[in-house]
Structure 1
Amino acid sequence: MSTRTLRTQVAIVGAGPSGLLLGALLHKAGVEAVVIEQRSADYVLGRIRAGVLEQVTVDLLDEAGVGERMHAEGLPHDGFEIAFGDRIHHIDLHGLTGKRVMVYGQTEVTRDLMQARAAAGLQTFYESQGVSVHDFDTHRPCVRFTAPDGQPVEVQADFIAGCDGFHGVCRASVPEGAITNFEKVYPFGWLGILADVPPVSHELIYASSEQGFALCSMRSKTRSRYYVQCSLADHADAWSDEAFWAELRRRLPAQVAANLTTGPSIEKSIAPLRSFVAEPLRFGRLFLAGDAGHIVPPTGAKGLNLAATDVGYLARSLTEFYRGSEAGIDSYSERCLRRIWKAERFSWWFTTLMHKLPENGAFGARIQQAELDYLTRSEAAQRALAENYVGLPMEA
């Protein structure tokens, strides 16, 4: 079967929220892009991920023209709660920073972007097999794959955007000596469930306890997302719903646990925690964005938000290129990495503050308690937490 050849300006590998958002932003700017995804659209939509959006991400979704349902159905949050022992302390995000966050699930963000792309008649290849990237060290890069009908396809482009996640082909295709990886793997994971029950609180609750960390979150006023810190040796199917709810109650202050509504889970999984950064994020005409270039622990909800700001920078840089300036693409990696490392620092700090770390011993546990106590009594400490939680601004 002969190879089908296509020509576009930007070939985007990966149809998760970062790839689709990049495609939407480029379309608004008049830049052509083709999206290539190895999984089916249903598989992509079935992934359960984050649900807290920074204002920067909300603004980018509005810029892309896909914010209408988010504003209608999303839940703006002016703060969140930190609990330890039987103490609960409110972090007033809006009062401390003048900003807020939006609770709106990543699945819904992806759905909005998919529908907008389809409505605009833009080309997306799902279920693409054997995706590979070539010649990105030249001015004629291309992406090759096999379509579901078995036909080989080659997409020739000016640039390739690697939005294909931590295990994707784009970063793996970079010569080993051209990239430096930084990684920290945490000795625990998060066991999470999704359930159609009302949230225990109208705000998120981050809880530190002797049994370990817990998070009470939500996707809507009728759907809740809960997590407990667990061993990496655990398996989700070994946890009954009843066992999960009992463990969650043990980790919450009594007044919160008493108000917890339980029900059957509709999804249950364990996510390992890691911090990871690849440097640089540009290799000739190949750019890495989102999880392809970095991973953060879910504490603080920075993963999707970092991916959004990466593609915000990249969309602007590519738009500037087609208007005659290479300054944006030349500074893309440096600008992204400055923001990425600040988010990595915050996610590491918040993770170590809230989780049980047996390797730190009794002294470390006391230090953790002292820092939580200090945080709840110091406006300056709360302001620093709030500033990072709502999201640092993008550079101009």
Structure 2
Amino acid sequence: MLSTKLHAQYDGIKVLANGKNFTVNPTEIYLFQSELQTNKILSFERVLLACHITTFKHDEKNPFPSNELLASQFKKSVRAIAAGVSDILKTGLFINEKGKYGTDKRKNTYNITPFLNLLGVFVEHFREGKAYDFKELYNGVIKGVLKAEKGKIEEKVEAPKLEELPEAITEALNAVENEEHRTILEKEIRRNMNRLDEETLIYYIDRIQEKFDSSKGTFASASYTFYKAANNGDIEKHKQMDAERYKRNTGNSKGRKEIEPEFLKEQKEAEKEYRKECPIAQRERQAHNAEVDRIVSEGLQKAYVEETGLDVEADNGFPYMTWKMNLMMELPEGAKEEVGSSEIAIYNRIYPNSVQSHRKIV
């Protein structure tokens, strides 16, 4: 796999852009080599040899390539390489520290700190646009007067370890087949662990998957909304509400009976009454109810934004609709019929000093 940057830099040539056998050098390295040669500190061949030896430094240890290896790479004799290394050592840019690693106390290892310091000091002056005499920089480094500024190693901050979830919650999450959904649910569970009990946390894993509608928003927004509105004891409350709903729909009749929805009954009754109403009263009632609907709509949107900090149209309005749905489920029986709609009933609970109601046909 080629690095995108190296691919562009080396024109897509595989062997140059595959990121293997690379060493990082400042772009001024070639100017530095020229200065070493121009100021007669090292010959061109010795500059190349010195720079090549530095590529064997891979950590804090001294590089220690053998003369035999260098001779084979440069296609020179071992004697010629030994002479070249000797000339580099005479400049003081390399320091021979024999037998520093391993059991062979005769093996050469090269402390290249002076060489790197001179390179660093040169690059500092060049990049800052300072006037310099390269020979003076060299003498200052060799005498220990000049040193390149050292940077600090960026400490890697380890991410805090997540608290282990209770076994029952882990089992419930593992049962979620969609990996992305499982990750989102775990995030919301951890966010609400100090507020909700274990039973409620597990209950909403199934409830969210059951109620989620992808056409109305993302799974993440649905999970956030459901858990934010959740309270301990919701399981029992939802059971009671389901039982009451079932009782209203079935009554005490025996055998199968087609159930007419409540809203359809209300609609039919309203149509009957509508026909009895005079035109003037009809227009006044319609205008009044339209104004009430506007006030209620604006009031609920304002309350939602203040409570959640979210926009009502975020995620196609799904979190806002879920918020209203949860409030509707908390309405006492008959609240909707008293004022004309569930939204008005919710509004009146939020704004008790500004009670609204649809005007009915008298």
> TM-score with structure 2 length normalisation?
0.21
Structure possessing the higher relative contact order (Cα contacts under 8 Å, 6 or more residues apart): 1
> TM-score with structure 1 length normalisation?
0.20
